[in-house]
Copies of this chain bind each other. A is one copy, B any other.
Amino acid sequence: MAAITIFGKGNMGQAIGDVFKQGGNQVSYLGNGDPVKNLGDIVVLAVPYPAAISIAKANPTALVGKIVIDITNPLNFETWDDLVVPADSSAAEQLKQLLPDSKLIKGFNTTFAATLKSRQVGDQQTTVMAASDSNEAKATLEAALKDSGVAFIDAGALKRARELERFGFLQMTLAAKEKIGWTGGFAIEK
C-alpha cells in the first residue's frame, strides 16, 4: 500500500485516484491553491503541462525524494500540430530538470480517463506504460497498481517519455478527429 497525493481533481485525477483506491492505496487530493503538505510517497501531477511546471517550480523542497508522476500531454492546443516541448526532449524531462531530487515517472499519459474508469480498451485490459530512470520508483508504481484492475508495463528510461508523449499526442489527434473514440484508442496486446 502506498500513500498517494494527486494534484488535480479533474477527470484524469479522479480516474487515477479511483484506480489507486481499488489497488488498496491511500489517496488524497490537492486542488489549486490548497497548501502543499503531508504529501504521500507518490505524487501525481494530474494537471495540464503548464500547471505541472508551476507546481514543480513552486515546490521543489516538498517534492524531494518523492515519486512524482507526470501524466501530461504537452500539446500546443491552439494548433494541435506540435508539442510545446523541444523536439529532442519531453515534458517529463523538462520537469526532471526542475526536480532533480525527485524520482520522476512518465505515466498515465497514454490512457484516456474513460479507459482508466472502464479498465478496458476494447476487449483488452487498460495498461499504464511508465518510463523512469528510477527502477525503484517504477517497482513502487507497479506494486500500487497490482490489484487496481489496470495493467503495468515498464517502458524503459525517462527518455522514452519522448515516445510516450508522441503516442499520447497521436491518440488525442485521432480522437479529436473522431477516427477513434475517447472510450477507445490504442490498446496493448502483450
Contact = CB atoms under 8 A, between A and B. Distances in A.
A37 interface: no
Contacts of A81: 157, 159
Interface in A101-137: 121-124, 129
Task: State the copy count for this chain.
Answer: 2
Interface in A146-184: 153-157, 159-160, 162-164, 166-167, 169-170, 173-174, 177, 179-181, 184
A162 B83 CA distance: 11
A85 to B, nearest CB: 11
Nearest to A190: B180
Q: How large is the interface on A (under 10, 10 to 19, 20 to 34, 35 or more residues)?
A: 35 or more
B122 A187 contact: yes
Contacts of A86: 87
A76 B188 CA distance: 24
Contact of A156 (B156, B162, B173): B173
Provide the main secondary structure of the chain A interface.
mixed
A162 to B, nearest CB: 7
Interface string A88-112: 1000000000000000000000000
A187 B124 contact: yes
B186 A188 contact: yes
B122 A189 contact: yes
A169 B163 contact: yes
Interface of A: 81, 86-88, 121-124, 129, 153-157, 159-160, 162-164, 166-167, 169-170, 173-174, 177, 179-181, 184-190
